[in-house]
Amino acid sequence: MLGNPAYPTYQSFIAFGIAALVALVLMPLWIRVLKYEHIGQQVRADGPQRHLIKQGTPTMGGVVILTAIVVSSLIMGRLTWELILVLAATLATGALGLIDDVTSVTHGRSLGLTPHAKMIGLTLICVAFCLAAVNLCGVAPEVRFPGGFVIDLGVLTTTLTIGGAAVQIPWLYVAFTWLLIAGLSNAVNLTDGLDGLAGGTSMIAMLIMAAISFLHGDVNLAIFSASCAGACLGFLWFNCYPASIFMGDTGSLALGSAFACVAIMTNTEIASLVIGGLFIAEALSVMIQVVSFKATGKRVFLMAPIHHHFEKLGWAETKVVIRFWIVAAAFGALGLALFFQLG
């Protein structure tokens, strides 16, 4: 760990800078490799017509994002179980996204893994992370609400003895964390549809989580969250309109997972749903669109996810992105305020 432990905020700022620098240095090299190998994005045929020019743009920028996060976290952080687990879950989800991206590129289509296969992978990651968080890090299987109200999700717990060690399986909490991690991973993935949108909003969310982690008393989680935000900043230099590279599922699934995992480690799951309010809105817009079309044959939005709806209304892509950044910042401020009301 670099830096003076007496100044933990300083360490988080340095972690942010290191991750941004790593991404800035490595991304041009990665873009050249991808172009040389002809690895590019497959654009939806039913999407906005102006997006067709993005066909073939290098993707899988998430590989560099994850590299920057790991390098910065290991340099500035201390290898506690909390840091090890969030890094492992983030990398595992990123690996799942990488398989999805590679499948998409090799098959020449905008869809990679089947939803069924992707959900199986996410489920395994979520369950493993939850059990490790509870048994190795002492995370309480509960959900905290403003005003000190707490719901105990450990009431249905099975204790197994494995190799002489007692392993607790809080079934309700496992299900809850599965919903949170899988839900936010897919929500950030859906948000990744415009140049700079997922990167900018993820940076905002992870900066808020860095502050929450620090206030919670876990400097290593603050360093990890700041590293995620810094990696997003470095990525944005190349992902701003017109994008030179996309993060792909490698980045979006991993960032959503990182966000959810930090929330679980700090017992701020409810606050995280507010902080990630924009991601939730993107996911809900897709769900509403599907349900409405199947039930009535009519669409609520001109196109889902909702950022495409505003494009269809005539908004420029950059206007949608910047306004969504503003909305994400507002959700982040509201979620941070809510954090202070949690018991």
Q: pLDDT digits over 114-126, tens only?
A: 888 899 999 999 9
Beta carbons within 10 angstroms of residue 337's beta carbon:
12
Give residue 250's Cα distance to chain centre. Answer: 10
Longest dimension (CA), the chain: 63
Q: What is the structure's pLDDT at 152?
A: 97
Average pLDDT, the chain: 92
Helix, strand, coil proportions of the chain in percent (round to 5)? Answer: 70, 5, 25
Averaged over 133-151, what is the pLDDT? 94
Torsional sign, CA 70, 72, 73, 74: positive
Question: Whose CA is closest to 19, among 182, 244, 255, 217?
Answer: 255
Residue with tokens 């495409």: 308
Q: pLDDT digits over 161-190, tens only?
A: 888 889 999 999 999 999 999 999 999 999
Averaged over 189-209, what is the pLDDT? 97
Which pairing describes strands 150-152 and 157-162: parallel, antiparallel, or unpaired?
Answer: unpaired
Angstrom distance (rounded) from CA 37 to CA 29: 13
With a cut of 60, say whether residue 212 has pLDDT above it.
Answer: yes
Six token digits for residue 226: 């700041």
Beta bridge partners, 58, equal 40
Q: What is the structure's pLDDT at 48?
A: 58
Question: Whose CA is closest to 143, among 271, 284, 335?
Answer: 271
Beta carbons within 10 angstroms of residue 110's beta carbon:
14
Q: What is the structure's pLDDT at 106?
A: 76
Look up the pTM and report it: 0.94
Q: pLDDT digits over 325-338, tens only?
A: 999 999 999 999 99
Distances (CA, A) of 295 to 67, 289, 292, 299, 315: 44, 10, 5, 10, 29
**Which DSSP string corresponds to 23-37?**
HHHHHHHHHHHHHHT
The answer to whether the beta carbons of residues 336 and 212 sit under 8 Å apart is yes
Q: Write the CB contacts of 13 (distance below 8 Å, at least 6 apart in sequence).
A: 226
Angstrom distance (rounded) from CA 180 to CA 301: 25
Angstrom distance (rounded) from CA 184 to CA 191: 10
Six token digits for residue 78: 């201390």
Cβ-in-10-Å burial (0-12, 13-18, 19+) of 314 comes to: exposed
Distances (CA, A) of 45 to 49, 50, 90: 8, 11, 30
Q: What is the structure's pLDDT at 287?
A: 97
Q: In terms of residues, how long is the chain?
A: 343
With a cut of 70, say whether residue 319 has pLDDT above it.
Answer: yes
